[in-house]
Chains A and B, each alone.
Chain A
Amino acid sequence: DAGVIQSPRHEVTEMGQEVTLRCKPISGHNSLFWYRQTMMRGLELLIYFNNNVPIDDSGMPEDRFSAKMPNASFSTLKIQPSEPRDSAVYFCASTHGQGTSRTEAFFGQGTRLTVV
């Protein structure tokens, strides 16, 4: 398996522009997470899905952020409009989620977002 795949790996955009981050979870996993990592705030859980349904989006910082999971093999995190303080590394992770045998989450390589 190729693991969790995120694209793009790096994104530089101007303030005010729309940014879309993409994630392909591991096949067969039914839970998907979006995290943001910064030096100041560490790893923050933004939102997580189970069976393509958003379960908890309390970590989404503002209405400028939105996430979708139209099917089991694809998710997007959109920021519109982007601001310099959104600069961070954004990670996607997936897990099987059910039972006790396969509970660990697997992370993608992350998208480093820079908003100038």
Chain B
Amino acid sequence: AQSVAQPEDQVNVAEGNPLTVKCTYSVSGNPYLFWYVQYPNRGLQFLLKYITGDNLVKGSYGFEAEFNKSQTSFHLKKPSALVSDSALYFCAVRPGNDYKLSFGAGTTVTVRA
């Protein structure tokens, strides 16, 4: 079985401050890890992924994430948050040898001006 945990329902930060959204996972074999963002009344938009290689991956809108195999984590980060980053963020995982994509519960990020 595979699963994703996002331990924080909400993250609140001031504009210009660093933003971190946490994610841990459980999966058999090598994980493929993803982050998505959802704005109100919209579908999910892909931000970035880790498949193999460098543990630090960079994605859209200045976001990056670090894969930590020993801690089974894939935290999303942005050095300086913007008000426009306020949205719902989802972490997702699939095994490398399967297509089943499972999502965490989501974390609501609010960036205050």
Q: A residues touching B (Cβ–Cβ < 8 Å)?
A: 4, 31, 33, 35, 42-43, 45, 48, 50, 55-56, 91, 93, 95, 97, 100, 103-110
Contacts and interface: CB of A to CB of B under 8 A. Distances in A.
Q: Chain A: interface secondary structure?
A: strand
A56 B103 CA distance: 16
Nearest to A105: B101
29 contacts: A33-B101, A42-B105, A45-B101, A45-B103, A48-B101, A55-B99, A56-B100, A91-B44, A93-B101, A95-B101, A97-B99, A100-B32, A100-B51, A100-B52, A103-B32, A103-B49, A104-B34, A104-B46, A104-B49, A105-B34, A105-B92, A105-B101, A106-B46, A107-B43, A107-B44, A108-B43, A109-B42, A109-B43, A110-B42
A45 B100 contact: yes
Contact of B102 (A4, A45, A50, A95): A45
Contacts of B36: 107
A41 B103 CA distance: 11
A45 B99 CA distance: 12
Contacts of A43: 90, 103, 106
Interface residues of B, number: 23
Given A43-B103, A100-B32, 12 more contacts: A31-B99, A45-B100, A48-B99, A48-B101, A55-B99, A93-B44, A93-B101, A100-B51, A103-B32, A105-B34, A109-B43, A110-B43
Nearest to A97: B99
A68 B102 CA distance: 21
A112 B66 CA distance: 34
